[in-house]
């Protein structure tokens, strides 16, 4: 949980990097803790990170692959003085996501092997349907379609030449400059100047019934993304936005995304046990030693989720310390830090991708249109791959 807290709160550090680091020390850890102890460390890191990654998105506007579209509603609530509420809502959605996902993951152990072949074939068609619904429902269909295609071209280029990027400390991931440019830097560069409003928490302006109702599509999105081949947590942003507009129902969207992120992590365990597919770096680390029973893994996930929920609320309570900070200086500092981190982790090629992604990411800001089609950077390569067109 300490490892997950560090990775969740630190921009640019992902749970996958921590998993790779821990796996390197597995010859030392395994003799003392055994496979069960090693598995517990990895699961705890993943679950804790998934809870806490909303905090940089909320207070700093820094996107991770699981919080790309969450940056806008979460940070906008911060500018309304309700950053703590945004984190609490996301954490509660995450907790409900775990509650709903664990029994579904147990059921998935039975039906995933039966349905995997037809699902592999239909992945591209499902993604086209989802993105088509999002674009057609908008008022700027032409611009959104163009934005989706351009983002997809950038994604194809970045993934095709990913080998040109550095792999510093095993953390090189071309998704970092892509998502930072598309969702992080444009927001930071165009954010209003002044000081961060006084942060105060006077309760959540969303009912328990609404939270549970919003959690259901989020859990569904997490399960789908965690199951379908080639998708990542970033794809869940797109899927959830098809049910709940991120720029209208801010609190509902944050609840759904919290549930989606944790459901994705939980179903990843079931997919690995059922058919051996590794949906994230943590599951890849599992392949290096004997995997404990699935009930043990899910029990660890449930226990850690309760602890991570408490840690997230504790961090959210520190929101008042941000009151009065100069937002212009803060945004500039965060933007410079992100550029430096991208340069260190992905090298010159990563910086080129960051510049191109930022240029595309500025389009929604200038035209005041939805940013959802920017997720074409991930979905178009996956769609083409599912149809047998190898572009990466």
DSSP 258-289: HHHHHHHHHHHHHHHHHH----SHHHHHHTTS
The confidence score (pLDDT) of residue 88 equals 93
58 with 75: CB under 8 angstroms?
A: yes
Tell me: pLDDT of 192 over 70. Answer: no
**Would you give the distance in Å from CA 212 to the centre of its chain?**
20
The confidence score (pLDDT) of residue 114 equals 74
Which range scores top for mean pLDDT: 62-71, 216-225, 350-359, 362-371?
350-359
Q: Which residue has the higher pLDDT, 306 or 17?
A: 306
Tell me: pLDDT of 67 over 60. Answer: no
| Average pLDDT of the residues in 45-62 | 83
CB atoms within 10 A of CB 103: 11
Segment among 55-69, 176-190, 229-243, 375-389 with least mean pLDDT: 229-243
Q: Classify each residue of 38-74 as buried b or exposed e, where b means 16 or more C-beta atoms within 10 Å of its C-beta.
A: bbbbbbbbbbbbbbbbbbbbbbbbbbbbbbbbbbbbb
Which pair of tokens denotes residue 379? 């979905």
CB atoms within 10 A of CB 387: 12
Tell me: pLDDT of 151 over 80. Answer: yes
Q: Which residue has the higher pLDDT, 164 or 249?
A: 164
Cβ-in-10-Å burial (0-12, 13-18, 19+) of 32 comes to: exposed
Residues 6+ positions from 54 with CB-CB distance below 8 Å? 67, 70, 74, 86, 87, 90, 91, 254, 258, 312
344 with 122: CB under 8 angstroms?
A: no
Integer Cα distance of 69 and 218 in angstroms: 13
Where residue 194 falls (left for φ over 0; alpha for ψ -120 to 50; beta otherwise) is left
pLDDT above 70: percentage of residues in the chain: 80
Structure confidence at residue 123 as a pLDDT band (50, 70, 90)? confident
Question: Tokens 């959830």 identify what position?
Answer: 240
Integer Cα distance of 248 and 250 in angstroms: 6
Which pair of tokens denotes residue 80? 């309304």
310 with 78: CB under 8 angstroms?
A: no
pLDDT, tens only, 230-252: 555 555 566 666 566 655 577 88
Which range scores top for mean pLDDT: 3-12, 136-145, 301-310, 366-375?
301-310
pLDDT, tens only, 368-386: 777 778 878 888 887 887 7
Going by C-alpha positions, the residue among 282, 294, 233 that lies closest to residue 105 is 294
pLDDT, tens only, 259-271: 888 988 898 888 8
**Cα Rg of the chain (Å, integer):** 20
The confidence score (pLDDT) of residue 172 equals 47
The confidence score (pLDDT) of residue 171 equals 44
User: In sequence order, what are the beta bridge partners of 78?
Assistant: none
Residues 6+ positions from 262 with CB-CB distance below 8 Å? 47, 50, 51, 94, 95, 97, 98, 101, 222, 305
Query: C-alpha distances in angstroms, 101 versus 87, 152, 259?
Result: 21, 30, 9
Tell me: pLDDT of 164 over 60. Answer: yes
The confidence score (pLDDT) of residue 252 equals 85
**Would you give the distance in Å from CA 310 to the centre of its chain?**
20
The confidence score (pLDDT) of residue 351 equals 94
Q: Which residue has the higher pLDDT, 107 or 309?
A: 309
Q: Which residue has the higher pLDDT, 21 or 367?
A: 367
* pTM (predicted TM-score): 0.73
Q: Classify each residue of 125-159 as buried b or exposed e, where b means 16 or more C-beta atoms within 10 Å of its C-beta.
A: ebbeebbeebbeebebeebbbebbebbbbbbbbbb
């Amino acid at each position: 949980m300490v490892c997950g807290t560090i990775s969740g709160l630190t921009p640019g550090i992902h749970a996958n990097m921590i998993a790779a680091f821990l796996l390197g020390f597995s010859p030392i850890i395994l003799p003392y803790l055994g496979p069960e102890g090693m598995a517990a460390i990895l699961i705890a890191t993943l679950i804790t990170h998934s809870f806490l990654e909303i905090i940089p998105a909320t207070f700093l506007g820094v996107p991770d692959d699981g919080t790309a579209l969450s940056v806008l509603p979460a940070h906008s609530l911060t500018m309304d003085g309700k950053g703590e509420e945004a984190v609490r809502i996301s954490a509660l959605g995450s907790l409900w996501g775990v509650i709903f996902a664990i029994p579904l993951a147990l059921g998935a152990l039975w039906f995933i092997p039966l349905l995997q072949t037809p699902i592999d074939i239909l992945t591209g068609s499902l993604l086209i349907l989802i993105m088509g619904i999002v674009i057609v429902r908008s008022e700027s269909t032409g611009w959104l379609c163009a934005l989706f295609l351009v983002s997809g071209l950038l994604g194809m280029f970045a993934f095709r030449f990913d080998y040109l990027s550095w792999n510093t400390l095993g953390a090189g991931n071309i998704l970092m400059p892509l998502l930072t440019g598309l969702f992080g830097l444009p927001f930071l560069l165009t954010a209003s100047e002044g000081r961060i409003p006084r942060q105060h928490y006077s309760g959540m302006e969303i009912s328990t019934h609404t939270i549970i109702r919003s959690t259901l599509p989020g859990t569904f999105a997490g399960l789908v993304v965690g199951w379908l081949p080639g998708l990542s947590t970033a794809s869940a942003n797109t899927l959830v936005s098809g049910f709940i507009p991120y720029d209208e129902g801010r609190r509902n969207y944050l609840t759904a995304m919290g549930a989606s992120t944790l459901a994705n992590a939980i179903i990843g365990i079931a997919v690995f046990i059922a058919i051996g597919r590794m949906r994230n770096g943590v599951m890849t680390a599992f392949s290096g030693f004997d995997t404990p029973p699935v009930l043990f893994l899910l029990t660890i996930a449930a226990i850690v989720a309760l602890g991570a929920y408490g840690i997230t609320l504790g961090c959210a309570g520190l929101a008042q310390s941000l009151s009065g900070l100069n937002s212009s200086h803060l945004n500039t500092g965060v933007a410079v830090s992100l550029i430096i981190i991208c340069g260190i982790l992905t090298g010159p090629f990563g910086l080129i991708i960051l510049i191109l992604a930022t240029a595309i990411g500025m389009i929604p800001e200038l035209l005041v249109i939805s940013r959802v089609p920017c997720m074409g950077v991930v979905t178009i390569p996956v769609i083409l791959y599912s149809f047998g067109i190898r572009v990466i």
